[in-house]
Amino acid sequence: MTQTTHTAIADQVDDSHHPKSFISKYVWSQDHKVIAIQYSITAIGVGLVALVLSGMMRLQLGFPDQFSFIDPSSYLQFVTMHGMIMVIYLLTALLLGGFGNYLIPLMIGARDMVFPYLNMLSYWTYLLSVIVLLASFFVTGGPTGAGWTLYPPQAVLNGTPGAENGIVFMLISLAIFIVAFTMGGLNYVTTILQARAKGMTLMRMPLTIWGIFVATILGLLAFPALLVSAIMMMFDKLVGTSFFMPAILSLGENIDHKGGSPILFQHLFWFFGHPEVYIVALPAFGMVSDVIATHARKNIFGYRMMVWAIVAIGGLSFVVWAHHMYVSGMNPYFGFFFATTTLIIAVPTAIKVYNWLLTLWQGNIHLTIPMLFAIGFIFTFTHGGLTGLMLGNVVVDLPLSDTYFVVAHFHMVMGVSPVMVLFAAIYHWFPKVTGKFLHTGLGKIHFWGTFLGTYAIYLPMHYLGFLGVPRRYFAMGTTDFIPESAQALNASITVSAIIVGVIQLVFIFNLIWSVFKGKKAGDNPWNATTLEWQTTKTPPVHGNWGPSLPVVHRWAYDYSVPGVKDDFIPQNVAPDQVIMIEKVEGAENVEGMESNQKGDNT
Amino acid sequence: MASNDNKPVEGSAWQNVVKDWSDDKETFNMPWGKLMMWLFLLSDTFIFSIFLTSYMSVRMSMTHDWPNVSEVFSLVIGGHHIPLILIAIMTFILITSSGTMAMAVNYAYRGDRKKTVILMSITALLGASFVGMQAFEWTKLIVEEGIRPWGNPLGASQFGAAFFMITGFHGLHVTGGVIFLSVIARRVHKGVYEKRGYSIVEITGLYWHFVDLVWVFIFALFYLW
């Protein structure tokens, strides 16, 4: 069975589908590259809103009651919207909708996604969900302030900020987002399975594609839980059903609900919520692997183990959800089970971290901006992963639950870490997307500010957590067990956070400036092996490959192969076209010959 | 390159399975649209599973008695209470429609456009009659029995909530399927697929069989429990 058996737009050679007008080329575009850029700009834009919200929260925490525009209700609303936007509308959308869309067809040697029209619909549906989400800022009562986990019963009860309209907008927006994600996700999985170029076996795919592939499958299986819980909560709110609502005395009155189960929502939410962590993490794992291999000029260490680790993490992520619920009052035996599965996940994750380190080991490390961010990621991820091991144990989690230790943990592991990879990926692939480099000096300022700022923000939070400072509190007041010095720490965190926030403006400026004034990059500026760098035009044209599709002859990591003239062999170079070093008598290159064999990886 | 060789591969059966799946070809030997439908149905399976699991969970933790389903879902015909008669007819109709759909797929691949269109139209009509009978059932429950999503005179309020939500969600799927079938049948009639092949009929059929299969579970868990 060959590639061409089922012909669709992605496979057609003829040029008749090329859009002619500006509108069909850049607005209602079906080209995966344009859709990817649309996704990315929207996600980064809404992410900046979330960044501003986090700054407002920090202002209140660092300097309580100095700012009249932050009252307890709006504080909770900032917390909620910051969390939800960052996790779903920024990270998920940018990693899968942005990088997934851009890289999948280019890296596997396809002309486009298998169903470009559906792909276009996916973006516009996503945009609609963002608009509905942002609209909730302007409705009566403002956006919901229930915390990004939206736990009932408080999420729908009067007294919670946004219980009038905000929660409804949030649920509708989530439902629309899930529809958008499903349309995109079906496309990604089908494209990866069915539309790979000749020679591109699954075990030759770059790890980026593996990460996106498994993450998308996780999304397709995990988002249903969020959709169902959103529908049920919407019924509770609008129709008056009692799925999640027990009998409650609220504000001195008996509410109309009885007999529902709030714990059910927590189970449903985290059945989505935990895989969501890996929906964000797995593409990041994949992309950072490719960045590290490229900039260390060395094949990724243990490719097969890296692939199986991604698959194993993906599978395990569905059986750990209740470790978010140790304090929910569920049966303690559950805690035993979920602690065990949680700790098992550390095994494939540790394999990945060791393999990144061993890839760097004795590599020819180029400290380019993408590499700096990639190495930064290894630090932040290891750090957040280790605190994850602590929180995975029931006895350690109980006293630390709902403290700043948890906030520090998940920001390190699934906030900062994927963002570090996103920065690495943007600096790495920007030359392919635009044909220009991002400015290196500004990039260094951006990296060091962000990386050091991260530690200035989150290291003290671990300590605050040990002190027992609870999360999501508007103000601590006078609490006996919290020393006054904690306030000094909070103020320093706030100052750091604002500095880091401002440094992101340097990055935004760099993006815009480089599009116009950046240094010309050429087709393959990093001397990388993967297919997207082998296009003849940069940025790649509609259809990606010109008249004929590339043929793949080797895996994605033929860097520094002994005896070969260049220190990289692109995936589409046939064995007989590899230029060898001319043999000098008596100087046979023996060292490292075994790694050469990997080039013929089947 | 080993992947392009046709010689028999050495290694264990397991390695050969992995190699077969991961080779440089379409992983699944089927049209793109069909694979996409399978993936969508997998995702949709999770949606319905979570609906039904939530329903079971709610039913186990409720604080009032569950209504006696063999009384709620009975019709009075000729002075006799006949439990589950309407639902038996509805289930029979839906399963019959799966049969006509399977025949439509068969005739489509044989290139018999006329019979394909007739059988798809019958399937759509059976589906529409299912939705009609569901509307009748809902009307009876709401008007005669006084069952509402937020409460009912027979017991736990979650009965109405779960029933209307899940059968409603399934009913929307059937309605969508009827529209999908009608559109495709019309296009088959026009001869749109003469060149492209008739896998679209099979894809429509996959969706339809899935909707029927889901109904079997809803039937078992709502009407027989």
Over residues B117-151, the pLDDT tens digits come to: 999 999 999 999 999 999 999 999 999 888 898 88
Residue B23 lies in a domain: no
Residue A556 DSSP one-character state: S
Contact B63 A258 (CB under 8 A): yes
| Least confident range of A69-78, A576-585, B91-100 | A576-585
Contacting B residues, span 142-181, partner chain A, CB-CB under 8 Å: 149-150, 156-158, 160-162, 165, 169
Residue B67 lies in a domain: yes
User: Under the phi-then-psi rule, with left for phi > 0, alpha for psi from -120 to 50, and beta for the rest, what region is A591?
Assistant: beta
Q: What is the mean pLDDT of residues A218-232?
A: 96
Q: What is the pLDDT of residues A179-215, one digit of tens each?
A: 999 999 999 999 999 999 999 999 999 999 999 999 9
Contact B24 A201 (CB under 8 A): yes
Contacts of B35 in chain A (CB under 8 A): 190, 193-194
Give me the residue from B50, B61, B150 closest to A241, CB to CB: B150
Counting other chains too, the contacts that A320-325 makes at CB distance below 8 Å and 24 or more residues apart are A320/A274, A320/A345, A321/A267, A321/A270, A321/A271, A321/A273, A321/A274, A321/A275, A322/A267, A322/A270, A323/A274, A323/A391, A323/A392, A323/A397, A324/A266, A324/A270, A324/A273, A324/A274, A325/A263, A325/A266, A325/A267, A325/A270
Residue B94 lies in a domain: yes
Contact A240 B150 (CB under 8 A): yes
Give me the residue from B3, B36, B165 closest to A186, CB to CB: B36
Give me the residue from B26, B40, B169 closest to A194, CB to CB: B26
pTM: 0.93
| Least confident range of A291-305, A398-412, B58-72 | B58-72
At B188, the pLDDT band (50, 70, 90 cuts) reads: very high
Report the Cα–Cα distance between both ends of chain B, in Å, rounded: 59
Residue A208 C-alpha, separation from nearest chain B C-alpha, in angstroms: 17
Contacting B residues, span 50-69, partner chain A, CB-CB under 8 Å: 50-51, 54, 57-58, 61-64
Q: What is the pLDDT of residues A472-520, one digit of tens each?
A: 999 887 888 888 889 999 999 999 999 999 999 999 999 999 999 999 9
Q: What is the pLDDT of residues B35-74, one digit of tens each?
A: 999 999 999 999 999 999 999 998 888 888 888 887 888 8
Contact B28 A194 (CB under 8 A): yes
Domain range list for chain A: 541-602
Contacts of B64 in chain A (CB under 8 A): 258-259
Residue B9 lies in a domain: no
Contact B50 A552 (CB under 8 A): no
Q: Average per-residue pLDDT in chain B?
A: 90
Report the pLDDT value the prediction gives residue A85, as an integer from 0 to 100: 97
Number of structural domains, chain B?
A: 1
CB pairs under 8 A between A and B: 139
Give me the residue from B36, B62, B64 closest to A190, CB to CB: B36
pLDDT at A419 over 60: yes
Contact B39 A228 (CB under 8 A): no
Task: Residue B143: give the domain boundaries.
Answer: 32-223
Q: For residue B60, give the CATH number of its domain.
A: 1.20.120.80
ipTM: 0.92
pLDDT at B3 over 60: no
Report the pLDDT value the prediction gives residue B144, as an integer from 0 to 100: 86
Residue B140 lies in a domain: yes
Residue B170 lies in a domain: yes
Contact A242 B51 (CB under 8 A): no
Residue A114 C-alpha, separation from nearest chain B C-alpha, in angstroms: 7
Give how far Cα A226 sits from Cα of A137, A219, A220, A266, A514, Å.
Answer: 22, 10, 11, 10, 39
Contact A193 B40 (CB under 8 A): no
Residue B16 C-alpha, separation from nearest chain A C-alpha, in angstroms: 12
Q: Is B1 on the interface with A (CB under 8 A)?
A: yes
